[in-house]
Amino acid sequence: MKKVTQDLTEGNVVKKVFSVALPMMAGNLFQMVYNLADTFWVGKIGKEAIAAVSFSFVLVFILISLAGGLGGATSIMTAQYFGARDQKRLKMTISIALWFVGGIALILSMSALLFSKRLLLLLHPAPNVLPLANTYFRIIMGGVPFMFLFFILSGILRGLGNGVVPMKVGLVTNLINIVLDPILIFGFFFFPKFGVSGAAYATVFSRFLGAAYLVYRLFSGKFGFRFTLGDLRADLEIIKHLLRIGIPSSFTQLFVSLGRSVLIRIVAQFGTATVAAYGIGGRLDSAFFMIFMGLGSGVSAFVGQNIGRGRHDRVKTGVIKIGFITIIISTALAIFVFFTAKYLILIFNTDPEVVKEGIIYLRTLAFFYMFIGFQFMMGSAFQGAGDAMTTMFLSGTSVALRILFALILSKYMGAQGVWLGLGLSWTITSTIGFALFLSERWKRKGVIRERYGT
């Protein structure tokens, strides 16, 4: 059988990080293509549809952040226990994570279905946007358990040093999603015309297929070890470590999601066209930043395994090297976005107001891509080390700054003040993160060191 896991504690640092990061980046590229295709087809319905999806995604990110932290903690602990060659506790970590995340996903789905309209009203959508947003949000949240399973099992594989399997599964599911989007949105073949709901149905179905396949791999021994129903048991120490990392990680993502909800309320005062431009620009940013997320995933797995092995010197060298590579990549990306901003927006919507605001958004933030890229690296390094409190602090600081800057600058610069505030928050937070990394306090945060004194 082809080897499923990979030891990241030996060999060339950059090659090892990229061996996990490149498949993740390729997978994120497929995700980017899906995001752009989804936005393209939804944009053909109208700017109200794009605004509806934008409002819905703010709430989706808030709710899934509550469980997303536990998924990230699982990946980190998987990497550290794998690095320490402790398969018993590795399996216990997976078991407990499945119980926790599964339960939380079901609770969130039920809550969202019951209170969807009330939650959306908190964001002040326009009256003609609310019904579309409510329908889209309810469908997406109904499929959250599948999304969580897909996310957590992909994270476990990356913690084991395998980014290829998640990449392949992501490719297939995203292709299915892309094909289904126009069919369900516009009612091709024998399917009815679902409109914006069709995009939500396509997403849920593709995530269901991905989750089902990864569950099959886990229980059929294709994660590099045999995992059975008998392994679904608990350990108090594992629970403690999972919560110690998972709760701050959840708050980290929650801060980001809440920050988005506040920003979209500020942006909403400038009209539906500006909200639509923010939605398109945000989707483009998310697509571009998947490059940084891919590198971050490689860094997190690399740091986790080496912390578990006690290779702190290797951690510091690797993170700094990848940090410089990130700066080069982000600079090239910024140049591309700045000069192609108009054409990027026109792909998704031709409304003159939307195009105008979208160009301003992209060109303003392009100047700050280097800082957000570096911020991703620092956050991933702290996460991999198990120092979730520092990641939470950086996230909270970034969100507080972007809201503060947005409130102040929007009074003098309009919507562009919100975009500028976002970029300034990236700059300050990445600088603080690098200073904290150089302090090396992360060396004392690994779960293996804490428990075994290694």
**What does the pLDDT average to over 360-380?**
89
Measured in whole angstroms, the distance separating CA 306 from the mean position of its chain's CA atoms is 23
**What does the pLDDT average to over 281-304?**
81
For 340, other C-beta atoms within 10 Å of its C-beta total 11
Instruction: Quote the CA–CA distance of 447 and 214 in Å, as a whole number.
Output: 26
Instruction: State pTM to two decimals.
Output: 0.71
Q: Are 80 and 304 in contact (CB under 8 A)?
A: yes
pLDDT-derived band at 163 (thresholds 50, 70, 90) equals confident
Tokens 């700059």, residue?
427
Write the pLDDT tens digit of every residue in 9-25.
777 878 888 877 788 77
Write the pLDDT tens digit of every residue in 221-236.
777 777 776 666 767 7
Q: What pLDDT score does 234 carry?
A: 67
Write the pLDDT tens digit of every residue in 64-75.
666 667 777 787
Asked if residue 136 has pLDDT above 50, the reply is yes
Asked if residue 332 has pLDDT above 90, the reply is yes
Task: Identify which has the larger pLDDT, 69 or 359.
Answer: 359
Q: What pLDDT score does 69 carry?
A: 72
Phi, psi of 11 (to 5 degrees): 95, 180
For the chain, domain boundaries: 13-445
- Hey, what long-range contacts does 59-62 have (CB within 8 A, 24 or more apart)? 59/112, 59/119, 59/120, 59/123, 59/137, 59/261, 60/137, 60/140, 60/141, 61/253, 61/256, 61/257, 61/260, 62/254, 62/257, 62/258, 62/260, 62/261
Asked if residue 453 has pLDDT above 60, the reply is no
Helix segments in 227-271, DSSP class H: 236-268
